[in-house]
Amino acid sequence: MMMGTNPVVVRRTMAGLRDLGLVASGKGHGGGWTIACDLDRVTLHDVYVALGSPEVFAMGHRSEEPTCLVEQAVNAALADAFREAETLLLSRLGSVTLARLSADFHARLAKRGPCGQEARSDDA
């Protein structure tokens, strides 16, 4: 478990991305997963949808005890805030392309240097 995740979860996730044409898989020697889309045209929102539009927040409305007045009051007090936060986050996901993430990653990688060390500048 190199990624610290069950391989079944990884396969299921990649299959969802494949089904929407974001990645492709190859079998046999030299096979594996490759990106199959234009990174400039795919946003994090597209990936979110490809993964089944999972719950955005781990916390939110509770319904363990629907008749509990405290639970009802808390849910009512936070409902608008959670809706607004989710709307904002999904909007932001739509503004971040995979190309932008790739460029940021490669810039960070170039600064890192070998073995995870920060690259030295010539001024040092």
CATH code at 7-96: 1.10.10.10
Mean pLDDT of the chain, nearest integer:
87
Asked if the model's pLDDT at residue 124 lies above 60, the reply is no
Radius of gyration of the chain (CA): 20
Q: What is the mean pLDDT of residues 59-84?
A: 87
Report d(CA 22, CA 27) in Å as an integer.
17
Answer yes or no: pTM beyond 0.95: no
> Coil, helix or strand for 23?
strand
